[in-house]
A and B are shown apart, each in its own frame.
Chain A
Amino acid sequence: MLRAEPLLRIQLVTLASEAQDAALALAQFGVFSPAPVALDALAEAPAMAYREVWLEAEARLAKLLEQCGDTGPLHVPEDAEAPTLADLEALNLWLKSVWNACLECHETATRVEERRQHLAALEDTLAKLEHLNVDLAPLLRADSLLAVRIGSTAAGNFKRLTEALAMTGYLASRFDTVGDQVFAVIAGPRAREEEVNGLLAQAGWHELPVPDELRTHPQAARAWLDAERAQLATQDGASCRMLDGLRARFGPRLNEARLSLALARPLAEAAAVGVRGRGGLAAFSGWIPRRQLADLRSVLEAHFHGRYWLEAREPSREEIADVPSLVRYPGWLKPFVPLVKSYGIPRYGEFDPALPFAVTYLLLFGAMFGDVGHGAVILLLSAALLRRLGRMAWIGVAAGAVSMGFGVLYGSFFGYEDLIEPLWLSPLQDPIRVLTIAIGFGVGFIVFTLLVSTRNKLVAGQVGEALFDATGLAGLVFYLGAVGSLASLAGAADIATPSGFAAALGLTVIAAYKWIEAKAGLGERILVTAIETLETGINLFANTLSFMRVAAFSLNHVALALAVFTLAAGLGTAGHGLTIALGNVVIIMLEGGIVAIQALRLMYYEGFSRFFSADGKAFVPLRLMPQGSEA
């Protein structure tokens, strides 16, 4: 819980013909995170073809499921086998044929829709031509010297098309605009029609076929339009029936395809990281928890009966940065993990800050927002929103409970300081004492972060930094010495001499270390050492003072309540009640939100930034299903 689980690097070599089953077994094992294979002798990538086919099939299946709807939950049998490359290729071809059939339905529907729009446009055209009293028959005669065409093009291109047509002696006349389409008549010498054809194709000119019926009597034209519409309705119905037919026909087999692709996923995903091979062999590499090595051997033995070679070793110092972090959290701590991960993932071997984060965050929130009534509201609201907010709601429940606890200590209930007797004291009664305690807490917190930082550096093999740097042991000695000196100066302790000595010693060691580490000319080296050493002192001092905000917000909470009561006091009974109620809502929403952010800020910037490099790699195990979906 406080650090990542110890992992082993494994190399698994199997028969290439069983690579898909090996990957499936590793995925079912549940805690194998693949990594690139480092065996130089295995130069081939035997699973890449498998991955390519899988990706194509998966994309086709996704499109089909989108068209035909989900075919229900997927159940993976215990003894299921992964498809071979040949099986997968056959499945991919079948999916392609089904998708093409689907696509045809889709195309038909699109064509029907476009035809419908054209008919509507044609009707408009007819209406306009009726008003113009133009006889289309002589205009559209195929043997005329004048070539006339009616059609549509994009409105944005019309001006340019008109100019280009003019170069061939053609005229274009717009008679309607529907959406971004311009409907126009173009006319010009038939001798240059060939030249115009290429131009019109380039312009995406959509010819409006004007049937003979439309060239005669308007009533006959309308009858023709109605008949066309009726025919379109039939076509539309036919395409819908075709789609429904597809669902009924292919639904069960699509479910089988989903299962096959889920079983093929592990090898396809592992191939993306790197499955190497040569001849008839395929090799996987990756990370598993040390304590589950025997389980993995049992799984492999059960599947392959000795037809495999497994090597497991501890990660080398050079590859520590590439080792993923696998941390198992108890259920009650899991809601806090996303807040830690939003800062970063701990490196392998680093101290995992989730537990101290959870405890400290709640303490800080409670201390800054201690009120029995407000805490209860937060608790109840979070509990009520449990279904909507999911696991995160538990943070609200816990924060509300801690707030209530501190409310009992402060004797505060919806801002009233006199309804319940404080178990400790109200912050306004002794602000200096509250400020001192907040700084004391900050000193403890910073000492803790420096200790963790020292430990992390030692684990990472950075002994020099762990002992002599500002965030290591030397920094801790300086900090404790400086705190002791200041406490002695304030009369709270009498340890001025040893504290001063410790502070001077710590600072000298830090400066010496900076001097050695600075790789620059003499002047720059002096500057870097002086500035960085000075920065160490200033940062630690500022970080400590930063914790005064804990006390400030606890005082602020009481002061805000007092302001609300003062406003309410000048109003009548109804106004008084309303102001108190609204004031409490504002305090909960506004101050509650600010305090939640301030507590997070303190954790991130005064805590995590000191010891948490946050550039670790997540342990991503091979799975049958993509992350977030359920089998």
Chain B
Amino acid sequence: MSAYLDTRVSLYASRLWPDAAFDALAQAPDEAIAGTLAARGVPQLVAGYDTPERATEARSLEQRIIGQILEETQVLIRPLSGEARAFLAFWTARFELSNVKTLLRSKMGGERPAAALARLTPMGAFGRLDLQDLAHAEDVGELLRRLEAGPYAAIVHHARRAFEQNPDPFVLDAALDHGYYEGLTQRARPLEEGAGSALRGLMAQLVDRINLVWLLRYRFNYSLPPAQVYYLLIGSRYTLASARLRELAALDSLEAVLDALPAPWHARLAGAPNIPAVFARMEHAAAQQALSVLRSRAPALARAFAYLSLRERDLRAVRAVLRGRHLGLGQADIRLALQRGALEAI
């Protein structure tokens, strides 16, 4: 199992995009886009840029990117079983929860089911919900009850109760996100104990990044009170543990929060002017760590998770470049939009 997965991950690792490849994509003439994408191992995206097929490709760029990630995850989980398989499968569940959020917003807006269904991402073998059935729920309440009878009951149950107390879309979205990441950390916990520090390091980067960005956003963009901000964060046992998060939530400016971070974090984030910049720096750090795990002799599961994280980051950057081209942005603007620093494995 391990040998197969290790080999698979190593083969897939060659598909990761060096920074120069994004410049090449941004500069390539229109007719060379399909060739460039094919050469860099993203066949699902080629279909949209291959002229004869463009007319028949109904999926959006975002949907095709997710399709590509799901396809690779499907290959990677093939030799896995038990908790490891459940963990990587759950990693894809955030795309399905994104479908759920689309359906919920469509119900709130009184949209027709067909319009909502057209925007959903096909989940393929990872799909656990009957989206047709859910799309035809009459309102948010009925949709949540149907979801509560399905595989995401644990996530939705709490979100429904919160939504009943306060029918605010933010409350619902925040509760779903919170429930999902709590579920992910629960699934990671037994694997972290078995798979050594590599997976724990990756999870720590992920959870700490999400917690810090949520904290800053809820506290300073949405002006929520500290107690509510703290409640919305993921229960963490990594660098930013619960006690530290409580202290940070009580501070009243971005600078104060960044100053109060542990030393390595402070050095990394000092001077970040806004929340997107904080996110970009932390994501860069996470990518460096993932690259280091990918190139190490870490357990196969940790390497697979590292690869999937890096691959998703790359494909998001590809999307940014393609959108930039579509909007007619210049090279410099596209590069700026990427907010992507060069990676050096640590």
Q: What is the CA–CA distance of A317 and B230 in the complex, to the nearest angstrom?
A: 67
Given A55-B136, A154-B157, A204-B165, are A196 and B171 neighbors across the interface (CB < 8 Å)?
A: no
Beta-carbon contact of B142 and A202 below 8 Å: no
Residues in A197-252 with C-beta less than 8 Å from chain B: 198-206
Knowing A202-B171, A203-B231 touch, does A55 contact B225 (C-beta < 8 A)?
Answer: no
Q: Which residues of B contact A59 (CB under 8 A)?
A: 113, 132-133, 136
Across the interface, do A203 and B227 meet the contact criterion of CB distance under 8 Å? no
Number of A-B contacts (CB under 8 A): 91
Contact check, B242 vs A201: say whether CB atoms are below 8 A apart.
no
Taking the closest CB of chain B, its distance from the CB of A416, in whole angstroms, is 49
| In the complex, B324 has a CB within 8 A of chain A | no
B51 is an interface residue with CB less than 8 A from chain A: no
Q: How far is the CB of B77 from chain A (nearest CB, A)?
A: 27
For B235-250 the 0/1 string (1 means CB < 8 A from A) is 1000000100010011
- Give A51 to B250 CA distance when docked, in angstroms: 54
Q: A204-B162, A206-B161 are in contact. Are A55 and B113 (CB under 8 A)?
A: yes
Query: Is B339 on the interface with A (CB-CB < 8 A)?
Result: no
Q: Is A154 a contact partner of B158 (Cβ separation < 8 A)?
A: yes
Quick check: A201 and B171 within 8 Å, CB to CB?
A: yes
A265 in contact (CB, < 8 A): no
In this complex, what residue of A is CB-closest to B141?
A: A107
Contact of A164 among B112, B182, B227 (CB under 8 A): B227
**Cβ proximity bits B126-148 to A, threshold 8 Å, 1 near / 0 not:** 00000011001011011000000
Closest to B135 in A: A59
B2: Cβ under 8 A from any A Cβ: no
Q: Size class of B's contact patch?
A: 35 or more
Instruction: Classify chain A: how many residues form its interface, as a range.
Output: 20 to 34
Known: A59-B133, A157-B158, A167-B250. A201 touches B138 (CB 8 A): no
Chain A interface SS verdict (over half): helix
Is B320 an interface position by the 8 A CB rule?
A: no
Residues 119-144 of A at the B interface (beta carbon under 8 Å): none
Complex interface: chain B residues within 8 A of A163 (CB): 230, 242, 246
User: A160 with B231: in contact, given A55-B136, A99-B138, A107-B141 (CB under 8 Å)?
Assistant: yes
Beyond A156-B182, A204-B160, 7 extra complex contacts between A and B, CB < 8 Å: A60-B136, A60-B138, A156-B158, A164-B228, A199-B228, A201-B166, A204-B162
A-B complex: 9 closest residue pairs judged by Cβ atoms: A204-B161, A59-B136, A201-B166, A164-B231, A52-B114, A201-B165, A167-B227, A164-B227, A204-B162
Interface residues of chain A, those whose CB is within 8 Å of chain B, are: 48, 51-52, 55-56, 59-60, 63, 96, 99-100, 103, 107, 154, 156-157, 160-161, 163-165, 167-168, 195-196, 198-206
Could you list 14 A-B pairs, sorted by A, with CB under 8 Å?
A52-B113, A59-B113, A59-B133, A96-B138, A103-B138, A160-B235, A167-B249, A168-B226, A195-B225, A199-B225, A199-B228, A199-B231, A201-B166, A204-B161
Q: Which chain B residues have a beta carbon within 8 Å of chain A's beta carbons?
A: 112-114, 132-133, 136, 138-139, 141-142, 157-158, 160-162, 164-166, 171, 174-175, 182, 224-228, 230-232, 235, 242, 246, 249-250
